[in-house]
Structure 1
Amino acid sequence: MTDYASPTVVQTSIPKADMTPLERYLLARIFDEDDEGETVFLSSCGSPNDTLEMPLGELRAAFSASQGIGSLALDLVAVKLDEWQGLADGDEVQLDLSMKSYEFVLQDIVKRSPVLNRIEVVTSYTCTKMRRDGFGGAAMAITAGEVRFKSTDDILNDFRTEDDAQPGEVFATFAVHSLLRLSEDAVRCQLPGIIETDPELGVAVDEVTAADIRAACTQVAEVSDLADERGFAEYKAAVLAIRLAKERQALA
């Protein structure tokens, strides 16, 4: 028997202030939650849970604490609480999210967040016995307006479409290769080392907020000129291409 799993990482740290108590309560049961101070990191080493078991009293409390902030999670749980009116707070209930995945919770968070413009999620598909239908991965980009998804199968299909469109001329057009992406998560990872080497800064890591990082990245992007870096990379790529061509000719 082959067992399938889909380990998942929500690449974007989620500010606690942007979540309702109900959303955080649900997400902490869909994923494993690591507290990062002002944010939480969500991941699942097996697969995200789509059937949540919990004491009804806890769910009712999270629901009540989230009133006044509209969300799809609130609407979904309201329907279930109406069905469970006759149950006591100590009763265990099961919330089925198999038909309504966690993306809708994350999208509501992006919609109201003053610092997030997207949440990125990466999933790996694996299995205990290697099979074509159980191995691969997917990436998801969640914005206020849409949820974009692409699997490794989609990528391979894109390659096939490109090859079919230009038979025998796979390299008829030049591609553009991304060299730099200023990641706010990567910037946060730099903080401990910088602060440790310069204690006179007088700022602790947890005092640097997500808004501080967002503003800093925006300012750096505005004043940075990557022309020199790009030109140097283009030069190195050209030199390497010449060397590869020479090696290929030598083997001919």
Structure 2
Amino acid sequence: MADYYGQCVVTPFIPVTDMNPAERLLLNSIFSHETSDDEVYFFADPWRAMNFVLQLEEVHAALSASPADCVASCYLTDCVTQNDDQHDFLEVDMDDHWMEVLQDIVRRSPSLSHIAIETAYTCSQMRFDGFGGQAILITAQAIDSMSTSQFIDDALSRITSEPRDRSERIIL
């Protein structure tokens, strides 16, 4: 059986002061992280966590210390509302909402103009569907991404759709 991995790095490091407690709680649950000199380095090895469990008490503490209108607070509040309040924990399914959390941080940050996530998809066996990558660029205005498969498709369509002199070498 093959094991699939999606290791990633998040750059630049994010200043601790740019994140509120709700954002830190979510991002620390999604990514592995290291903190140094008042900045946090987020990364994933072997994969980002998209489904995880949080202690309800910890969620309430983060929400009470965070602005109610930030993306992370709104998302956690929705999760708490959907919880049947019979448990001391909260099951969270982030899907792609984590990118919106990062975008919210960039929007408020006095020092960050963007956040970039580079992901390498690998596999423990040489399977055709087990390799590749993705780049995500998050700015205050947009979230854009491209996989290595998309790059290959785009490059091939440019190469094959443009008439050219066969002696010419194409440099992309």
Corresponding residue for residue 78 of structure 1: 77
* Unaligned segments of structure 1, at least 5 residues: 177-252
Q: 1:116 aligns with which of 105, 109, 112?
A: 112
Superposition map of 1:73-112 within 5 A: 73-84=72-83, 86-87=85-86, 91-98=88-95, 100-112=96-108
Q: Which amino acid aligns with 1:56?
A: L
2:18–2:108: 8 Å Cα contact kept in structure 1?
A: yes
Corresponding residue for residue 138 of structure 1: 134
Q: Which amino acid aligns with 1:67?
A: P
| Deviation for aligned residue 1:16 | 0.9
The alignment-based identity, stated in percent, is: 33
* Unaligned segments of structure 2, at least 5 residues: none
**What is the alpha-carbon distance in structure 2 between the residues aligned to residue 171 and residue 15 of structure 1?**
51
| Deviation for aligned residue 1:14 | 0.5
Task: Please say if 1:160 is aligned against 2:156.
Answer: yes
**What is the alpha-carbon distance in structure 1 between the residues aligned to residue 133 and residue 28 of structure 2?**
23
TM-score in terms of structure 1 length: 0.63
**What is the alpha-carbon distance in structure 2 between the residues aligned to residue 103 and residue 26 of structure 1?**
11
Q: Which amino acid aligns with 1:119?
A: I
1:12–1:121: 8 Å Cα contact kept in structure 2?
A: no
Of 73-82 and 162-171, deviating more is 162-171
Corresponding residue for residue 66 of structure 2: 66
The 1:171–1:133 alpha-carbon spacing in structure 2 relative to 1, beyond 3 Å, is: farther
Task: Kindly provide the CA deviation profile for residues 153-193 of structure 1, in whole angstroms up to 9, marking residues without a partner as x.
Answer: 111112211211235537859868xxxxxxxxxxxxxxxxx
| Deviation for aligned residue 1:118 | 0.4
Higher share of residues assigned strand: 2
Higher share of residues assigned helix: 1
Superposition map of 1:177-216 within 5 A: none
Aligned length: 172
SS state at 1:123 partner: strand
| Deviation for aligned residue 1:147 | 0.7
The 1:173–1:114 alpha-carbon spacing in structure 2 relative to 1, beyond 3 Å, is: farther
SS state at 1:140 partner: strand
Task: Kindly provide the CA deviation profile for residues 5-35 of structure 1, in whole angstroms up to 9, marking residues without a partner as x.
Answer: 1001102110111111100111011001100
SS state at 2:118 partner: strand
The 1:169–1:103 alpha-carbon spacing in structure 2 relative to 1, beyond 3 Å, is: farther
Task: Kindly provide the CA deviation profile for residues 73-124 of structure 1, in whole angstroms up to 9, marking residues without a partner as x.
Answer: 1111112222336336xx22211112x3311110000011111110011000
Q: Which amino acid aligns with 2:37?
A: G
| Larger-Rg structure | 1
TM-score in terms of structure 2 length: 0.90
**What is the alpha-carbon distance in structure 2 between the residues aligned to residue 54 and residue 174 of structure 1?**
51
Q: Which amino acid aligns with 1:160?
A: L
| Deviation for aligned residue 1:50 | 0.3
